């Protein structure tokens, strides 16, 4: 299905690196126009743009904004829409801070809820009505295995990700009967990754690798052994492949789902 997304425009939050960039390059590989977003320096942004264009994007543009500010998000969406419709919205931006409830700074709670949950609501409320008018659109919310189960010392993150799953279900119900099989309908789904190999967790990986005489596979298996039965990490491109599949017209009746990519974590 070469260029199956030709003529489509995809906006991915938090997409200058990691999972967001993996999704952006996957969508680009099918010819989509890509709208990148995040908070990053010029070099990181340039590298992301080059990766997306090399993957096959028809065009690429980048926007820098802080999703904690809902007014700024409204301005961001207006600016993006001035360049054309958004056919695919991927809410991926997220931050993390670990501490017990008793020791969690209130400011960290505010920031994590704002970026990991409230920003998803903002982009959806601003873009879903436009998708509904066309009878076609895809929203993919990157939740987490922590949208399905909990871990200690991650109260705001777990609360936000559970909220993303609930928000996804509500939106899916509200837009379930929009469009038809030919137009593709408007679907809203959540992807719930477990461990994904990104730069963010590389220090944790390396610490385990050092304990296993530089055996990377053994170090990763050790890191994952407590939670992820497969003892294999996913890659950003794995998550991107699933996001791409959800954009297929054949996925018109898959909506309101929270799809785990967790090596059996939530099957336990």
The predicted structure's pLDDT at residue 200 = 75
The predicted structure's pLDDT at residue 201 = 82
Residue 189 has pLDDT above 60, yes or no: yes
In 3D space, the residue among 141, 192, 143, 181 whose CA is nearest the CA of residue 12 turns out to be 141
The predicted structure's pLDDT at residue 151 = 94
The predicted structure's pLDDT at residue 194 = 97
Domain range for 118 is 9-196+235-261
Whether residue 120 is contained in a domain is answered as: yes
Whether residue 216 is contained in a domain is answered as: yes
pLDDT, one tens digit per residue, over 58-110 is: 999 999 999 999 999 999 999 999 999 999 999 999 999 999 999 999 999 99
**Maximum separation of any 2 CA atoms in the chain, in Å:** 58
pLDDT, one tens digit per residue, over 113-142 is: 999 999 999 999 999 999 999 999 999 999
State whether 132 and 243 are in the same domain: yes
Whether residue 268 is contained in a domain is answered as: no
Vertex 170, ends 96 and 196: CA angle to 5°? Answer: 30
State whether 223 and 243 are in the same domain: no
Whether residue 2 is contained in a domain is answered as: no
The answer to whether the pTM exceeds 0.85 is yes
Whether residue 91 is contained in a domain is answered as: yes
Whether residue 68 is contained in a domain is answered as: yes
State whether 202 and 242 are in the same domain: no
Could you say which of 16, 109, 157, 175 is catalytic?
157
In 3D space, the residue among 135, 22, 143 whose CA is nearest the CA of residue 87 turns out to be 135
State whether 99 and 114 are in the same domain: yes
Whether residue 3 is contained in a domain is answered as: no
State whether 111 and 209 are in the same domain: no
pLDDT, one tens digit per residue, over 203-241 is: 888 999 999 999 999 999 998 998 999 999 999 999 999
Distance CA 218, CA 212 (A): 6
From the CB of residue 260, how many other CB atoms can be counted at a distance below 10 Å?
A: 21
> Is 175 one of the annotated active-site residues of the chain?
no
Q: For residue 26, what pLDDT band results from cuts at 50, 70 and 90?
A: very high
The predicted structure's pLDDT at residue 1 = 52
State whether 192 and 204 are in the same domain: no
Distance CA 131, CA 141 (A): 16
Distance CA 10, CA 33 (A): 6
State whether 37 and 105 are in the same domain: yes
The predicted structure's pLDDT at residue 242 = 98
pLDDT, one tens digit per residue, over 243-258 is: 999 999 999 999 999 9
Whether residue 266 is contained in a domain is answered as: no
The predicted structure's pLDDT at residue 240 = 98
Per the structure, how many domains does the chain have? 2
Q: Decide if 48 contacts 36 (C-beta within 8 A).
A: yes
The share of the chain scoring above pLDDT 90, in percent, equals 95
State whether 96 and 227 are in the same domain: no
The predicted structure's pLDDT at residue 193 = 98
In 3D space, the residue among 259, 24, 32, 6 whose CA is nearest the CA of residue 142 turns out to be 259
The residues, ordered by sequence, that sit 6+ positions from 155 with a Cβ below 8 Å of its Cβ are 100, 101, 104, 109
């Amino acid at each position: 299905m070469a260029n199956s997304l030709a003529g489509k425009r995809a906006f991915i939050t938090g997409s200058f690196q990691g999972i967001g960039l993996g999704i952006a390059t996957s969508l680009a590989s099918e010819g989509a126009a890509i709208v990148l977003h995040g908070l990053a320096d010029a070099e990181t942004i340039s590298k992301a743009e080059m990766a997306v264009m090399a993957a096959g994007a028809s065009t690429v543009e980048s926007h820098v904004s802080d999703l904690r500010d809902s007014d700024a998000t409204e301005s961001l969406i207006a600016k993006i829409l001035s360049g054309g419709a958004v056919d695919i919205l991927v809410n991926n931006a997220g931050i993390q801070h670990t501490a017990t409830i008793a020791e969690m700074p209130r400011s960290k709670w505010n920031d994590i809820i704002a970026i990991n949950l409230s920003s998803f609501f903002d982009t959806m409320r601003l873009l879903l009505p436009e998708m509904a008018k066309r009878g076609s659109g895809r929203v993919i919310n990157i939740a987490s295995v922590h949208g399905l189960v909990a871990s200690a010392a991650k109260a705001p993150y777990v609360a936000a990700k559970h909220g993303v799953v609930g928000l996804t279900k509500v939106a899916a119900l509200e837009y379930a009967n929009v469009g038809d099989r030919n137009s593709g309908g408007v679907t809203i789904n959540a992807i719930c990754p477990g461990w994904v190999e990104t730069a963010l967790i590389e220090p944790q990986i390396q610490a385990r690798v050092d304990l296993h005489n530089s055996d990377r596979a053994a170090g990763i298996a050790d890191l994952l052994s407590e939670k992820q039965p497969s003892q294999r990490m996913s890659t950003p491109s794995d998550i991107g492949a699933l996001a791409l599949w959800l954009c297929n017209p054949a996925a018109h009746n898959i909506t309101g789902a929270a799809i785990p990519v967790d090596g059996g974590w939530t099957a336990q």
